[in-house]
Amino acid sequence: MLEATDPLLESEPDRLSQVPLTALLFSISKKTRAIMGLKLVELGLHNGQDELLLAIRGGQPLHVSVIAKQLNVRPSTVSKMLDRLIEKGLVARISDKNDGRRTFVQITASGQALCNEVLALHESFGHILTEKLVGDPAVLTHALSETEELLRNRLQRLR
């Protein structure tokens, strides 16, 4: 016979309240990225390419190292991702007028159009992520932004 304290008898909300915050955040992150990956395929993109497009959407030419720092990845990773986006005509390489060895990248008009679709996708998914949250979304967003910055700085020190 099962006792009242048996986990099999616990309701779902009670069980979830016992899951450590870190485990929940990892799980949410993995599921979010998996769902986004499926949605990005519909746009012709792969995971990470959306973040790269968003990083360069301002229209100003950027150097690969600047993008890599912003995305917290190695420049070689950004270069590989850029090669794929350049093949699709979403990004263009621009030579540095002062130093021929350096190149910059800039989003193209078609890349900007796709970037707008990515932004809409991120916004719609944001509504799903915040649907069950209690409190002011702006306060939560601010707290999560500060946490992300803290983690970004720690990651940079570790690399």
In CATH, what number is assigned to the domain containing residue 102?
1.10.10.10
- Domain range enclosing 93: 34-122+152-159
Within 8 A by CB and 6+ apart from 46, the residues are: 37, 40, 84
Residue 39 DSSP SS3:
helix
Q: What is the mean predicted confidence (pLDDT) over 145-153?
A: 88
The percentage of residues in the chain with a pLDDT greater than 70, rounded to a whole number, is: 89
Residue 49 lies in a domain: yes
Residue 21 or 44, more confident: 44
Residue 99 lies in a domain: yes
Within 8 A by CB and 6+ apart from 89, the residues are: 108, 110, 111
2: confidence class by pLDDT, cuts 50, 70, 90: very low
Other beta carbons within 10 Å of 156: 10
Does the structure show a pLDDT above 70 at 27? yes
For 104, phi and psi rounded to 5 degrees?
-120, 165
Residue 27 lies in a domain: no
